[in-house]
Amino acid sequence: MSINWFPGHMAKTRRQIKENLKLVDAVIEIRDARIVKSSANPDIEDICQNKPRIILLNKSDLSEEKVTKQWVKELSNEHTKVLSVNCLKGLGLKNIKPALDEMLKEKHDNLRSKGVVNIVTRVMVVGIPNVGKSTFINKLAKNNIAKTGDKPGVTRNKQWIKTKIGIELMDTPGVLWPKFEDETVGLDLAFTGAIKDEIMDIEDLALKLIETLQINYPERLKERYKLPELSESALENMDNIGKKRGAVIARGNIDYNRVAVMLLDEFRGGKLGNISLEKPEK
């Protein structure tokens, strides 16, 4: 299943990030806690280099807590702090200001020695589409300045947003890289909604998700869809899910589109339980 999506505005965003990096003190990169590696744009790593960075593992309420803790330990280093958060509920966001202050202590001490009293920290917010950047900004700013949506590609232009805690945020559109060398990365992004469903074969995508879940989380599938047993065939499991949910059309055929939409919606909404599609040891 080939996945390749790189709209023109994303190439423009990559240029913007490079050009505007000198305007900020630090970078906040938002990733999906369920697919920590797949939701990391390698371009961001290269572009930001040694700029102080905070990685927010968003939607951590949908991932396995023990796996997310492993990722926090794995990704933390001298220049990078990693926080587990839920941007929608605001969980974990109170730790951002102290983390920034600690990382920028030398710079802030230098400014205070020159008589600067009200220090404003300017931060660039980056991440792939639909990972929660606008939701994070709105929560931190306590308003709805940044546009939000449950579809990728909502934010298109650079925006500056002020907060009441001495942080100014530069919002940027979500940016993916031009080509996914690993098909698994593309699938993980598609499973979680980072890639538009409209450009996907949604029935094939749902079948791939069943293949993944029946290997890694078989009990979740059985429990959610009341299946006594799972078949080795993902298609047969999809048929049985369709029958259990009444997605049957003329002559007993399965309405695969209906099953696909339902399955993806329920997975993305956490109704199959806490799932981490990637673990550090992999």
Domains of the chain in sequence order: 8-171 (3.40.50.300), 201-268 (1.10.1580.10)
Query: Residue 153 above 70 pLDDT?
Result: no
76-97 b/e with 16+ CB inside 10 Å = b? eeeebbbbbbbbeeeebbeebe
Q: Residue 33 corresponds to which tokens in the numbers above?
A: 């806690």
What is the pLDDT at residue 127? 87
Q: Which residues contact 179 (CB under 8 A, 6 or more apart)?
A: 4, 6
Give the distance, in angstroms, between the CA of residue 250 and the centroid of all CA atoms in the same chain. 39
pLDDT band at 17 (very low <50, low <70, confident <90, very high): confident
Q: Note the pLDDT tens digit of each residue in 23-41.
A: 999 999 999 999 999 999 8
**Known binding site for GTP: residues?**
58-61, 130-135, 174
Q: Which residues are annotated as a binding site?
A: 58-61, 130-135, 174
Q: What is the mean pLDDT of residues 9-31?
A: 84
| pLDDT value at 178 more than 90 | no
Q: What percent of the chain has pLDDT over 90?
A: 64
What pTM was computed for the model? 0.88
Structure tokens at 167: 């942080």
CA distance 182 to 163: 39
* CB atoms closer than 10 angstroms to residue 195: 25
Residue 65: what pLDDT? 96
